[in-house]
Amino acid sequence: MEILACRGVRKIYGAGAGQVTALDGISLTVEQGEFVAVVGASGSGKSTLLHILGGVDKPTEGTVTVDGTELSHLTPTQAAIFRRRKVGLIYQFYNLIPTLSVRKNILMPLTLDKKKPNQEYFDRIVNALGLSDKLEALPGQLSGGQQQRAAIARSLIYRPALLLADEPTGNLDQKNSKEVLDMLKLSNRNLNQTILLITHDERAALEADRIITLEDGRIIGDERRR
């Protein structure tokens, strides 16, 4: 089942002599349950692509469809709600609310919609991510790897159609980086979670089933490894 379809996407910033083409005709599809890494040098368009796939930004041309919804048709408010419910976003910096417990941070997407969590699913996530004994702690009391795991749990709580991870290990040491990548693989295998990982780290990319390479806003490689 196709979860993500990106057709002829271009993103242009500025005008005239200062015009920059960040993405230049990107087309790709991702099936449910795939673990895909997008790699490329700085300035290749990786983060721009992630923002467009997540509905944070809109393309200048082309279409993006996630789980049957064409994102360009959404108003800013609709796009924000869609992201919360259908797209899990993980960033290099964890974006946890420092004054809230780990439990409340994880449940925040549901809280914003005034929804009660499925306790069995919540327990499954926090146990899998090794957070069951950290739920009442504040983010500042956790290691970097634990904070990133809490961010992953928050991104998974709504059972999103697509999980987008933007350099999730970029702020971590080697041990914590491996830990976080293991958690992403676990969610991919055990929860059939579709993941698109943006990274410049070759070791991280090699954990994925498929590697897409960007250069100057274009796809120059698409390798299926498994």
pLDDT digits (tens, 9 = 90+) for 184-217: 888 888 778 899 999 888 888 888 999 999 999 9
Query: For residue 11, what is the enclosing H or E element?
Result: strand 2-13
Q: Is 98 helix (H, G, I), strand (E, B) or coil?
A: coil
Residue 56: per-residue pLDDT: 86
From residue 62, give the alpha-carbon distance in Å to each of 9, 26, 52, 145, 147: 4, 8, 11, 37, 36
Residue 166: per-residue pLDDT: 86
Q: Which residue has the tokens 């242009």?
A: 12
The pLDDT of residue 10 is above 80: yes
The pLDDT of residue 17 is above 80: no
Residue 169: per-residue pLDDT: 75
More confident residue, 203 or 108: 108
Tell me what percent of the residues of the chain surpass a pLDDT of 90: 43
The pLDDT of residue 221 is above 90: yes
Residue 43: per-residue pLDDT: 84
Residue 178: per-residue pLDDT: 81
Q: Average per-residue pLDDT in the chain?
A: 88
The pLDDT of residue 66 is above 90: yes
The pLDDT of residue 149 is above 90: no
Token couple for 85: 């419910």
User: Cα(167)–Cα(90) distance, rounded to whole angstroms?
Assistant: 8
Q: Which domains does the chain have, with CATH numbers?
A: 32-60+71-224 (3.40.50.300)
What are the phi and psi torsion angles at 99 (to 5°)?
Answer: -90, 0
User: Cα(160)–Cα(189) distance, rounded to whole angstroms?
Assistant: 15
List pLDDT tens digits, range 28-52: 999 999 999 999 888 899 989 988 9
The pLDDT of residue 116 is above 80: yes
Mean pLDDT over 5-18 rounds to: 89
Banded model confidence at residue 160, pLDDT cuts 50, 70, 90: confident
pTM: 0.84
Residue 201: per-residue pLDDT: 81
